[in-house]
Structure 1
Amino acid sequence: MSMRSPEDLTARARIRDAAMEVFAERGAKGATIRAIAERAGVSPALLQHHFGTKEQLRAACDDHVLAYLKQGVALGIDEGRLDRPDFATEIYRSAPPVLRYLVRALVDESPGSALIFERVVELTTPYLKGRDDSLDPKVRAAVFVAMRLGLVVLSSQLSGVIGAELLSPDGARRVGAAMLDILDPALFDATINEQARRAVRDPDS
């Protein structure tokens, strides 16, 4: 299973991936066309040929993040692959740069960050249940998404406590297991809950 598309073999995709790294490190204001082109190993002219302005490139990164998350939900939850080793391996490989980019955009309140947060909430809402029928499902999902992304905001501090890099396979399993232990099981469908618990188990246990 791969969450990469044929486009990911192209110069355009290499530029986008480099842009996500630079945006995550420097923020939307600090990132420059020259720095992104240098990271991608292309000329600024080629970058502008593919994406035009820095703002258009940033918007393309936002679109990629949403497409990545939608594909992850479709494969992991809708198709029931959440606890498959190949799915977990691919997520551990591909998710860190996506999460770093997303969290930096939200913390910096970069252009489009409010919209991308709302889209992630919309993507999450149908999969959360909860026990209080009077609660707005979108509010429930928004709080859940903020909690999950907050872990990445505090990744340095959290990694020190758990003894592993948060976005490494070992760190992700430890934090995932702790989250599932804390959260009310009624928040998810029973099948999703069980698959998630199998997915965070130590493969050597």
Structure 2
Amino acid sequence: MSAPEGPTARTRIRDAALDLFGRDGVNRVTVRAIAARADVSPGLVVHHFGSKEALRRECDAYVVALVRGTGDAGRHDDVADRVMAGDGAGLSAVLDAATPVRRYLARAFLDGTPEAARLFDELVEVTTAWLADGEREGWVRATSDPRARGAIYVSWLLAPLAFSDHLERVLGVADLHETDATIEHARVALEMFTHGVFADERALAAWDTAAKERENP
């Protein structure tokens, strides 16, 4: 069952781990299961990564590189660029490639480990900078708190992943992480981000009034 050792073996192992960790959680996945999914021997997994924990760190690093658009993950990191450029060509294939990453993120944040906290902080940092670039370029509206905007934006994006079981039930889909479901239901989120939800500023004005009352009791 083993495959020849080489540059593709390490990638296959990482991709297998990313998928299995996302589906079942790190604690429930064995090195033997990862090896079987990657079609290599368990010894080759240990040879390349040393341990399951080191392999999990490699998956974290890959996800961060994908978000940053660096390293070998950069080839999958044009989802946001395509969307913001209005370019739908090839977007489906890019989303297909990102499906294991969406599952991995959902599982990581549900597990609530220190590693997940660091991963979340990294996503907020990258997203805050990305939105700030968009504000300077004119395709993102200005905000009074760029850091909070970045953090809340990331939280909004991750919420469907964390609540996927409930959303799948309510929306009547078998797997919210699959590309067809993502394309259908993520459009609603993009619509909300683009046009907003409220048609006037009553809620915003009420919030500002409450804040002023707290400042001047």
TM-score range, shorter chain: 0.7 to 0.9
Output aligned runs, 1:25-40, within 5 Å.
25-40=23-38
Question: Of residues 81, 85, 89 in structure 2, which corresponds to 1:85?
Answer: 89
**8 Å contact kept, 1:159–1:171:** no
Q: Distance in 2 between matches of 1:70 and 1:90?
A: 19
Note closer, same or farther for the CA distance 1:112–1:123 as it changes in structure 2 (3 Å cut). same
- Which one scores higher on RCO, CA 8 angstroms, separation ≥ 6? 1
CA distance in 1, matches of 2:154, 2:120: 8
Tell me the C-alpha RMSD between the 2 structures: 2.7
TM-score normalised by the chain length of structure 2: 0.70
Residue 9 of structure 2, aligned match among 8, 11, 14: 11
Give structure 1 stretches of 5+ with no counterpart.
1-7, 187-205
Change (3 A) 1:76 1:25: closer
Q: Flag structure 2 segments of 5+ consecutive residues without an equivalent.
A: 1-5, 70-75, 132-139, 197-217
Aligned-pair CA distance for 1:120: 0.7
| Matching residue of 1:66 | 64
Q: Count residues in correspondence.
A: 176
1:121 aligned partner: 124
Tell me the SS of whatever aligns to 2:97: helix
The structure with the larger Rg is 2
Cα drift, residue 184 of structure 1: 5.8
- The equivalent of 1:24 in structure 2 is 22
Report the counterpart of residue 163 of structure 2 in structure 1. Answer: 154
Q: Distance in 2 between matches of 1:139 and 1:80?
A: 21
Cα deviation, 1:170-199, whole Å, max 9, x if unaligned, reads 32222222112323648xxxxxxxxxxxxx
Contact kept, 8 Å, 1:103 with 1:153, in 2: the verdict is: yes
Q: How far did 1:25 drift? A: 2.6
1:24-59 CA-partner distances (Å, limit 9, x unpaired): 233222222122112212111100111111111110
Question: What residue is the counterpart of 2:190 in the other structure?
Answer: 180
Q: Percent identity?
A: 36
Q: Does 1:171 pair with 2:175? A: no
